[in-house]
Amino acid sequence: MMRRLGIFAFFGVLLTLYVQLLGPVRQVMEQRPFVEKLGLIPHPQALKLLFPDFRALLGATILGRVTLYFGGLVEHFDDPRLLVKAVDYPAMSRAIHTAVKLDPYNMDAYYFGQAVLVWDVGKYRLANELLEYGMRYRNWDWQLPFFVGFNKAYFLGDLEGAAKMYMRAGELSGAAMFKTLAGRYLQEVGKTEMAIGYLETQLAGARIASVKKVLRLRLTAFKALRQIEEAVDGYRRRYGEWPLGLEDLTARGMLAEIPEDPYGGRFYLTEDHRVRTTSKFSLTLGAGKKKKVDVTPEETLRDD
Amino acid sequence: MTEISFPIKIHGLSKVYRGKKWQRVAALRQLELTVRSGEIFGFLGPNGAGKSTTIKTLVGLIRPTEGRVTLFGQPAGMAGARQRVGYLPENPAFPDTLTGREFLALVAHSFGLARQQGLMAAERVLDMLDLTTAAGRPIRSYSKGMVQRLGLAQTLLHDPDLYILDEPMSGLDPIGRALVKDIILDLKAKGKTVFFSTHVTADVERVCDRIGVIVGGVLQAQRDVAGLLREGVEGYFCRVSNCPDKVLQPFGYKGRDDVVQELFVPRDRFNDFASQLFRSGGSFDLVEPQRRDIENYFLSLVRQAGEL
Amino acid sequence: MTLLGATLKGIFRDRVFRGLLMVLVVFAAIPAVSTLSMRQVVSLCLTLCLSLSSLVLLVLALFLGGTVLWRDLDRRYCHALLSLPLSRERYLWERYAGIALFLGLSALVLGGMTWLVTSFVAAGYPPGRPILWTVVFGCIALDLLKCLLLVAFAFCFSAFSTSFFLPIFGTIAIYLVGGASQGVHDYLRSSAATDISLAVRRLADSLYYLLPNFSLFDIKLYAIYGLPLQTSQLLLSGGYFLVYTLLLLGLSGWIFARRQIP
Ligand SMILES: Nc1ncnc2c1ncn2[C@@H]1O[C@H](COP(=O)(O)OP(=O)(O)O)[C@@H](O)[C@H]1O
Ligand SMILES: [Mg+2]
């Protein structure tokens, strides 16, 4: 009888202690710094040498971790100003570069790099390097040249390079749509429209909630931009002259109010009557952000 | 060429084990031994004498450091030499995931028995060793004695001409020991050759034709058991009646009050005593030979070898 | 019953196959995990299936290859088995064949599971590129060959070792080195490695040619992304496996036949 009681007491005490520990354990794990949460990722070359059989699995695991990590920050997305503080972009960039070194065919890496990393941080050249690395392996995939072309045309102003990429995407997909894209980029008006089209395509294909949220945010920004651009055009048509500033649009009733840039920037009018935003649609380049985010990986990507 | 027919021929066998730290253990020294066809040979020796070493050399588990060992004229160590041999290892163990019956099927197959023949042989030996009920269970559920009996069954399976049994009686209860002795005698009746090791002298007396005593890796003696038993008689315990004390006194008899007259007469004086007894009108009620038994013989050899 | 049959039966009786079936439950989770992928659900599914198959075969190879001979010696089954009129080489090869057969069967089951799970996922998320089933099954087959080669190594180590330490950890070492050898070789050939001394290069080169090259058996990326594969590469891998394994088994037999079993 005493023995039985002793056994009950033994397991009872230990189980209670275990349950008591669960809360603190969860709290501590949730409050870890971001790098630790994302996990320190070993050097890709070392991983490749140690587990050559599992390189694809390791690549997928790293991306899975990035996706889960990014998805876990979804509550910050409502205020993008907080996002840049919450998200550890350099760590994500390193993880993505490690993943493509392990498995250069992994489309998730390129997609995530393009959809989230590039825009938010504004490293277009780095992004194109990543994508062009992927093009050497996924040589059947039209999406990669499509992304590169968009970055070149929209962000880097390299229309000739963009046209080449769209031709390549057209050849690979067999769709005629790309052939016309390069031409339309030559006009400023078409640019915003195309960006919206591009984002809407991406959004339609997106399946992960966090990515969807990011894309939707961006789409909102571009729709705001288009609204202002349309107002500027309308102003010119009605009054026969360009507005001197965006205040003219509200003053003369073309717009009820200037839409807000969800990236925390401020829309303004350039000398040549184009609408720009101080944030450049990037979280790190946005107004008031002095923080410089370095997402360059330790090593450049090269074939091996 | 007659030598070839000897079931076992060991010539100049020495074995040195290389133990830990390059230590060398001379387990056998210059062993000479021949076992003739149809013979039951008991290999007697204390623990660590080298019995198992000899036997493992015979079945090719270890190689001799020196010397030549043949089975029916074929060098031991070749797989073919074991075709006519049934071997029971010391403290045997068998793949314990198999059932007894499956293991016997494996043995039958390796001896080249046809399937049907193997099945029949298996049932025969299982029955002989009282394992039929357990035969369908995995060996891991067997008791020590059952495993030992399965080991014996396995040696009998293909009806070999030579049986090499390493301590066949160890791990068995008295009933099992009696069974094994009966089996060995049965094999003798069939003209088979049996070579078995033991450290228990009582096992030897009833069944062996010949014994070899090994102590400290050296074969001390080989003896014919019948001769040993005859020679071993040291005198007779006698109970006589109507005998005058003066006849008895030279044999150390001290007069006693009661009627029963008992005394010990050494072997070499027995004839003398008997004639005196009859002359004086006495008679024998009982005569019992008093022998120095194999146990004593064994102990004296061990003592000689300086191991006691 | 042959020793091969007994080996196979022993493995089943040790409930290894039941263990394998338990692992198959993990396959059921793969479709759900695959949907975590943003752009390549089927590829992720194949990655998971093939990696899991690879891992299971590897564990089986290490476990069975490293313990079967060792257990015979340690529990002294060898005394009963090797005193039968069965040559040591024959004993060793039949044991090997038993393990090989079991691994083959496991590969078949894993391949079936991969086919089942991937087909199911592909029905829900049509893949961008067609799945090349021959390459997928070829990938599992090559994984199997690699594991059989590892078992041969484990046997070679078991042939002279008394503990299971060398067979298991030696084989793990061979697995790691054999996997890395091509990578190291390529690195030493690249421009990044000009300052590495000649002695180190020589050593790496001799290891590269002496030890097995498991990169030859790794076509996972081909299978996952449906990249076309030349049949000649498969044939080359098969030939390499055959020659290397026969060499190892011959060597193991030679060593084991000379071994003392006291
Ligand atoms: N593997 C071994 N390594 C070293 N010494 C051994 C080994 N096997 C047996 N010996 C030694 O050889 C001698 C003979 O052993 P063994 O033949 O087993 O004796 P028995 O069977 O007569 O009891 C013993 O002294 C024993 O310690
Ligand atoms: Mg012994």
Chain A interface test: which of C30, C38, C54, C224 (most A C-beta within 10 Å):
C38
- CA of A56: which chain C residue's CA is closest? C47
Q: Give yes or no for a contact between A267 and A273, defined as CB atoms under 8 angstroms apart.
A: no
| pLDDT at residue number B305 | 79
pLDDT band at A60 (very low <50, low <70, confident <90, very high): very high
Report DSSP state, residue C167.
I
d(CA C201, CA C215): 19
- Chain C touched by B16 (CB under 8 Å): no
Ramachandran angles phi, psi of A79, nearest 5°: -120, 95
The ipTM (two decimal places) reads 0.91
Q: Does C156 fall in a domain?
A: yes
Using CA atoms of A250, A254, A257, A258 in order, give the dihedral in degrees to the nearest 10.
Answer: -90
Nearest chain C residue to B154 by CA: give it.
Answer: C80
**Atom 18, ligand 1: which residue's CA is nearest?**
B52
- Cβ(B52) to ligand 1 under 6 A? yes
> Taking every pair of C-alpha atoms in chain A, what is the biggest distance, in angstroms?
100
Structure tokens at B130: 């009282």
Q: Where in chain B is the domain with CATH 3.30.1490?
A: 233-291
User: What's the token pair of residue B273?
Assistant: 């005593």
pLDDT, tens digit, 9 for 90 and up, residues C23-71: 999 999 999 999 888 888 999 999 999 999 999 999 999 999 999 999 9
- The total number of structural domains in chain C stands at 1
Domain of C135? 3-257
Q: How far apart are CA B91 and CA B126, in angstroms?
A: 19
Better pLDDT: B189 or B255: B189
Q: Which helix (H) or strand (E) holds B9?
A: strand B8-18
SS3 A111: helix
Instruction: Determine whether the interchain pair C80/B151 forms a contact, defined as Cβ–Cβ distance below 8 Å.
Output: yes
Quick one: pLDDT at residue B298? 82
What SS3 state is found at B237?
strand
Q: Is C87 on the interface with A (CB under 8 A)?
A: no
* CA A207 to each of CA A218, C35, C129, C147, C261: distance values in angstroms, whole numbers, following the listed order: 16, 9, 19, 38, 64
Considering only CA atoms, which residue is closest to atom 14 of ligand 1? B50
Residues of chain B with CATH 3.40.50.300: 8-229
CA–centroid distance, B198 to ligand 1, in Å, is 15
The pLDDT mean for chain B works out to 89
Q: Kindly indicate the confidence band of residue B1, based on its pLDDT and cuts at 50, 70 and 90.
A: very low
Give how far Cα B54 sits from Cα of A279, B39, B169, B196, Å.
93, 18, 18, 11
Contact residues, chain A, for C220 at CB < 8 Å = 53, 55-56
Which amino acid, one-letter code, is at B249? Q
Atom of ligand 1 nearest to the CA of B214: 22
Nearest to A56 among C33, C47, C215 (CB): C47
DSSP state of B76: T
Q: Which residues of C touch B122 (CB under 8 A)?
A: none
Q: Which CATH superfamily is domain B8-229 in?
A: P-loop containing nucleotide triphosphate hydrolases (3.40.50.300)
State the average pLDDT for chain A.
Answer: 80
Rg of chain C over Cα atoms, rounded to whole angstroms, equals 20
Ligand sitting nearest the alpha carbon of B46: 1
Report how far residue C186's alpha carbon sits from residue B259's, in angstroms, rounded to the nearest whole number: 110
Cα C170 from Cα C157, distance rounded (Å): 7
Residue A112: list chain C partners with CB under 8 A: 38
Strands B218-224 vs B210-215: parallel, antiparallel or unpaired = antiparallel
The two tokens of residue A301 are: 């990507």
A148-198, pLDDT tens digit by residue?
A: 988 888 888 887 888 888 888 878 876 656 655 555 555 555 678 778 877
Q: If DSSP codes are grouped into helix, strand and coil, which group holds residue A295?
A: coil
pLDDT at A165: 87
Amino acid residing at B149 = R
Look up the pTM and report it.
Answer: 0.86
What's the angle, vertex CA B184, arms to CA B234 and CA B291, rounded to 5? 5
- Give SS3 for B135: coil
Mean pLDDT of B94-102: 95
Query: For residue A161, what are the contacts with CB-CB under 8 A and spacing of at least 6?
Result: A149, A152
* Ligand 1 atom at minimal distance to the Cα of residue B53: 17
Measured between CB atoms, does C67 come within 8 Å of chain A? no
B233 touches B269 (CB < 8 A):
no
Answer whether residue C110 is part of any domain: yes
- Tell me the two tokens of residue C192: 């990044």
- Closest by alpha carbon to B285, among B261, B306, B251, B303? B261
Three-class SS state of C247: helix
Do the domain assignments include residue C262? Answer: no
**Bridge-based pairing state of the strands B24-35 and B8-18:** antiparallel
The residue of C225, C227, C229 whose CB has the most chain A CBs within 10 angstroms, and thus the best one to mutate to test that interface, is: C225
Tell whether domain B233-291 is in CATH 1.10.3470: no
Atom of ligand 1 nearest to the CA of C262: 1
Cβ of A207 and C38 within 8 Å? Answer: yes
The number of beta carbons lying within 10 Å of the beta carbon of residue A46 is 10
| Ligand 1 atom nearest to CA at B166 | 21
